[in-house]
Chains A and B, each alone.
Chain A
């Protein structure tokens, strides 16, 4: 048992933290998020130059890290409220050709009727000669406006909600028949509705066999692990800000930190964040296990992170009082990001059910 980071991992954390501090301060980020195009292509180039896009890959895969490095980076990205689609590109797509920064991915898996169920797909991929023809509407594809390519789930066979017949495709955004509607998201990021109308792709667009729900589940679990780490970054910022504020803010002639009712709430926030850190470690270290163990770990982590994120974000706003409600202070922005993470890839109830089912065997 060892929860220590290597010195290389510490260096990676320091490097990302410095990048966040120097180029991703709150005011800069706020300005970028609220203007067009809503992200910084040059930041993406920096990610590539600094090797951050290679960090999720092992040496054999052409990189220098793995899931632990992803966790470290995502936590720091959480502190910076990073907008660029690192998760979709380096964690979910996780393909050759992204390390240099030339391809950026959006993840088009959700559908309007599908909620968080990965197998509920009305989008179809019909065999056509060697290739496929895609038709359908993908909902809320995070990172879509910045993407050059999409990872798309589509039905190669079976009925709409069958486990069988889930195919995974790579589709270039400029492919004929692909249209998007881009919009900002509540947490200052960008996403797209993606529409496929008779989009022809070659055989090489298909990743895997065309019957790959298990692969989608695995990739989403990896994304969940990364999101949990990002949430930890948000929680740490909020907890530190709240404790600081409570010491400075005076009412009735004393710092509000001296009120026991607030002390206990901040202790609860601290405990929730520590539990979330533990879960982020746990799920990251279990990503290599068999499907059931990995899925249980991911759902457990998502549940705990969802609960902690809600408690911490709500109490951080409450203890900051009116100031916590303002757009000007960073607190509300972390509140919104944690709120969105709480639902991304499934909320607490969804993952409790998934866990219960897996746990019952």
Chain B
């Protein structure tokens, strides 16, 4: 047992830090704290990483992976969070790619993986439907075989960043007569430009546009776009969800957010005293930091186990639950910290592109919208209730 990083790890950390200082695109600076991105932002950052040879740390080397240890990958994420880089959307990199690598044909790997790592294509996820959220296996979107094509009809929802996407991976029912709901589902790749695909925005309570409805009306795609075997899509879908959860703890970003919170609490005053010196508020920050430390070491233990060949298992549900609780708590405390200036609402303001709108401190502008927006984290990626069910069943055997 040893809590220290090795000298090699430290050297690696310094290398990453230097790269981020020197090569993080100027046009992306400051965007992460405003939580507002364009499609081109994501692609640019991906391209920048690719050019450095760091486009897809988790992939096998032959497809452009870095060969890093899981601890190095953790360090890399930490450093990106520390430098407040924009996030890497998980849909292509961390969701589709593991499925293709495990179950895709060689042709599919060659066709779809390079544009992901190079920052040329943007993917989105076609899982949830209006009637199928936690109970994903009840999904109703159909793909009917017609010669060399599937004809897809149905509606997906909560398609995150679907309005940026070139491609979507879709779970479709290919055998409606299967005995169990989980059987008879296939995993199909659809180009968003295919006739019959329609994306409609869903505006969320914080006023932002992140998610969409995606409609499929007689959408024809080649059978070659199916990943793996017909009617075995549920196996691939579950495999993907395990990978989705493993990145969800967000320790590095939460650490940075704690620092931000402390900066705000050192600036905001009550009766002339910074509220960071208020014992009640200081205690709340301390409790949060303790929770975050526990999560960090839990994630490190998981990574160490992964390094010994134990793939992500049901424990990743723990990381999801605790990680999202901490992310939500952070936005709660930030909201508290900013006091009266939580009220003004600036989304879409000011229209003329001036980003120094002088009402209240800048750090207050996003406090309430982010607090509202982050409620999604205990709902998406399998709600926290579902995660607890998974732990109850798969870990505790209840």
Within the complex, which residue of A262, A322, A335, A344 is in contact with B372, where a contact is CB–CB below 8 Å?
A335
Chain B 353-369: CB-based contact to A (< 8 A → 1; otherwise 0): 00000011000000011
Q: A322-B128, A325-B205, A326-B204 are in contact. Are A336 and B379 (CB under 8 A)?
A: no
Which chain B residues border A325 with CB–CB below 8 Å? 204-205, 211, 375-376, 379
Within the complex, which residue of B138, B336, B341, B360 is in contact with A347, where a contact is CB–CB below 8 Å?
B336
B371 part of interface (Cβ distance < 8 Å): yes
B308 part of interface (Cβ distance < 8 Å): no
User: B372 contacts A339, CB within 8 Å?
Assistant: yes
Q: A117-B271, A347-B336 are in contact. Are A186 and B359 (CB under 8 A)?
A: no
Which chain B residues border A112 with CB–CB below 8 Å? 341, 360
Chain A 217-261: CB-based contact to B (< 8 A → 1; otherwise 0): 000000000000000000000000000000000111100000101
User: A120 contacts B205, CB within 8 Å?
Assistant: no
B235 part of interface (Cβ distance < 8 Å): no
Chain B 204-228 interface residues, beta-carbon cutoff 8 Å to A = 204-205, 207, 211
Which chain B residues border A113 with CB–CB below 8 Å? 269, 272
Which chain A residues border B344 with CB–CB below 8 Å? 140, 183-186, 191
B83 part of interface (Cβ distance < 8 Å): no
A115 part of interface (Cβ distance < 8 Å): yes
B383 part of interface (Cβ distance < 8 Å): yes
* Interface residues of A, dominant DSSP: mixed
- The interface on chain B, measured as residues whose beta carbon lies within 8 A of the other chain's beta carbons, has a size of 48
Give complex CA distance A331, B372 in Å: 12
Chain A 308-334 interface residues, beta-carbon cutoff 8 Å to B = 314, 317-318, 321-322, 324-328, 331-333
User: B133 contacts A251, CB within 8 Å?
Assistant: yes
- The interface on chain A, measured as residues whose beta carbon lies within 8 A of the other chain's beta carbons, has a size of 50
Chain A 156-193: CB-based contact to B (< 8 A → 1; otherwise 0): 00001100000000000000000001011111000101
Q: A115-B268, A321-B379, A332-B372 are in contact. Are A186 and B204 (CB under 8 A)?
A: no
User: A322 contacts B340, CB within 8 Å?
Assistant: no
A110 part of interface (Cβ distance < 8 Å): yes
Q: Identify 13 new A-B residue pairs, CB closer than 8 A, beyond the known A318-B375, A325-B376.
A: A115-B268, A116-B270, A139-B341, A181-B359, A183-B345, A183-B359, A186-B343, A252-B138, A318-B383, A321-B133, A332-B204, A332-B372, A335-B372
User: A186 contacts B280, CB within 8 Å?
Assistant: no
Q: A113-B269, A349-B281 are in contact. Are A322 and B205 (CB under 8 A)?
A: no
Chain B 266-295: CB-based contact to A (< 8 A → 1; otherwise 0): 001111100100001100000000000000
**Interface pairs A-B: 6 shortest CB-CB:** A332-B205, A251-B135, A327-B203, A186-B368, A185-B343, A115-B270
Which chain A residues border B372 with CB–CB below 8 Å? 186, 332, 335-336, 339
User: B375 contacts A191, CB within 8 Å?
Assistant: no
- Nearest A-chain residue to B135, judged by Cβ: A251
A-B contact pairs, 7 of them (CB 8 A): A113-B269, A117-B270, A184-B344, A250-B131, A251-B132, A343-B339, A353-B280
Which chain A residues border B339 with CB–CB below 8 Å? 115-116, 343, 347
Which chain A residues border B133 with CB–CB below 8 Å? 251, 321-322
User: B335 contacts A251, CB within 8 Å?
Assistant: no
A199 part of interface (Cβ distance < 8 Å): no
Least CB distance from A89 to B in Å reads 18
Which chain B residues border A207 with CB–CB below 8 Å? none
A133 part of interface (Cβ distance < 8 Å): no
Which chain B residues border A191 with CB–CB below 8 Å? 343-344
Which chain A residues border B204 with CB–CB below 8 Å? 325-327, 332
Least CB distance from B287 to A in Å reads 13
- Nearest A-chain residue to B280, judged by Cβ: A349
Q: A325-B204, A327-B207, A347-B336 are in contact. Are A340 and B342 (CB under 8 A)?
A: yes
- Nearest B-chain residue to A119, judged by Cβ: B271
Which chain A residues border B342 with CB–CB below 8 Å? 186, 340, 343
Which chain A residues border B141 with CB–CB below 8 Å? none
Give complex CA distance A344, B341 in Å: 10
Chain A 98-142 interface residues, beta-carbon cutoff 8 Å to B = 110, 112-113, 115-117, 120, 139-140, 142
- Nearest B-chain residue to A191, judged by Cβ: B343
Give complex CA distance A112, B135 in Å: 48
Least CB distance from A223 to B in Å reads 14
User: A318 contacts B205, CB within 8 Å?
Assistant: no
Give complex CA distance A335, B375 in Å: 11
User: A140 contacts B375, CB within 8 Å?
Assistant: no
Chain B 233-273 interface residues, beta-carbon cutoff 8 Å to A = 268-272
User: B280 contacts A339, CB within 8 Å?
Assistant: no
B153 part of interface (Cβ distance < 8 Å): no
Give complex CA distance A339, B345 in Å: 13
Chain B 292-304: CB-based contact to A (< 8 A → 1; otherwise 0): 0000000000000
- Nearest B-chain residue to A254, judged by Cβ: B135
B186 part of interface (Cβ distance < 8 Å): no
- Nearest B-chain residue to A352, judged by Cβ: B280
